[in-house]
Amino acid sequence: MIQAVDIQKKYEGFQLNCSMELEEGCITGVVGQNGAGKTTLFKAILGLIALDGGEVKVFGKNPRQLEKEEKECIGAALSSGSFSEYLTLGEVSGICKNMYTKFNENSFKEQCRQFGLPMDRKIKTFSSGMRAKAKVIIAMGHQAKLLILDEPTAGLDVVARDEILELMRDYMEDGERSILISSHISSDLEGLCDDIYMIHKGEIVLHEETDNLLAKYGLIKVDENQYEKLDKQYLLRRKKESFGYSCLTNERQFYLENYPKIVVEKGNIDEVITMTIKGERV
C-alpha cells in the first residue's frame, strides 16, 4: 500500500528523515511526542509537501501521479481538518456525493445518526469529540482502501476514543483495507495495530510488530551491583535511577529465566517510548 524510502523534508529547526511501509490488510501505527514529525510524515505520504530527498509510493506510484480513480481509494483525516466548519454534515454529504463515485450517502447518514452527529448543524458548533468522529466518518465515507488518520483521538475522553477505535475495527472487516494511524496516546494503538513505528525528532527510532513489542519487551529494575552482574547483550537502553538503573530489553524472558531475583516488568508502549527517548545506549 505505502512505501516510503529515505524521505527527507527540511524546515527551520526540524528535519524529517525516515523510511516506513504499510502492507495491505494491516493497521500500522506511528507514535511519538507532539512535534516528533508524525504530521509531516503523513503529508509527505499524501504528496501534500515537496520532498527534499527520498521516495514515496502509494499503490506503487508517486502520490502526485495517482489517477483520479486511485486517489478515490484514499481516505484521509489530518489534524488540520478537511472541510469548512461553516458547513453542515448534510452539505458535506452532498459535496462528497459529487466528488466520490463510491460515496455511500445512506451509510454516511446512518453512521452520523449512530454516533449522535446532527446533519443540519454547522460543524463549528460540534464538541471536540463530535468533530473527531465526523472527520473519521467522512474519511471512510467513500469506501477507501487506504485510510490515513493523523491523531484522530487527540483530546477526546475515553468513551469517544473507544467509539472511534471501534469504527476502525469495523472498517477493516473485509480484509483488503489498510490504515495508517498516528497517535501520542499509545494505549489506543496497543489493541489496534499490527505493527508500530516510533518517531522522534523526525527519525524512526523503533519499528516492531505490536505482539512482539508487548510480549518480548520488558523493563528491568536493578541496583548498581545487580547491574554490573547482568548479561547486557539484550539490553537496549538504560536510565540512571535513585535505586540504580532501569533497563529496556527486547528479551524479557531471558532475564526472567536467568535472573529470578531481579525485577523484570512487562513492557508497554509508553515505557518503550520513554526509555528509547530518555535512556542511553548500553
Residue-wise pLDDT tens digits, 86-130: 899 999 999 999 989 989 899 899 989 988 899 999 999 998 888
What average pLDDT does the segment 127-148 reach? 89
206 lies in the same domain as 272: no
* Per-residue pLDDT tens over the stretch 154-207: 777 888 888 888 888 888 988 889 999 998 777 778 888 999 999 999 999 999
Report whether 49 contacts 4 (CB < 8 A): no
Report whether 20 contacts 43 (CB < 8 A): no
* Residue that finishes a domain, picked among 212, 239, 269: 212
What average pLDDT does the segment 33-57 reach? 92
Report the distance separating Cα 19 and Cα 68, nearest Å: 26
Report the distance separating Cα 202 and Cα 12, nearest Å: 13
Report the distance separating Cα 210 and Cα 197, nearest Å: 10
**Strands, E assignment, 32-165:** 53-58, 74-77, 146-150
pLDDT band at residue 11 under the 50/70/90 scheme: very high
Residue 138 maps to which CATH number?
A: 3.40.50.300
The three grid cell numbers given for residue 12, joined into one nine-digit string = 527551520
What global pTM score does this model have?
0.88
250 lies in the same domain as 141: no
272 HSE (CA, 13 A, CB side)? 29
* Residue that finishes a domain, picked among 189, 212, 235: 212
257 lies in the same domain as 151: no
30 lies in the same domain as 116: yes
106 lies in the same domain as 223: no
Determine the structural domain holding residue 53 and report its residue range.
2-212
Please state, for a pLDDT cut of 90, what percent of the chain lies above it: 62
Report the distance separating Cα 166 and Cα 72, nearest Å: 23
188 lies in the same domain as 140: yes
* Residue that finishes a domain, picked among 154, 179, 212: 212
29 lies in the same domain as 136: yes
106 lies in the same domain as 173: yes
Report whether 269 contacts 193 (CB < 8 A): no
β-pair type (235-240, 245-249): antiparallel
Number of domains in the chain: 2
Summary count for the chain: helices (H), strands (E): 11, 14
175 lies in the same domain as 87: yes
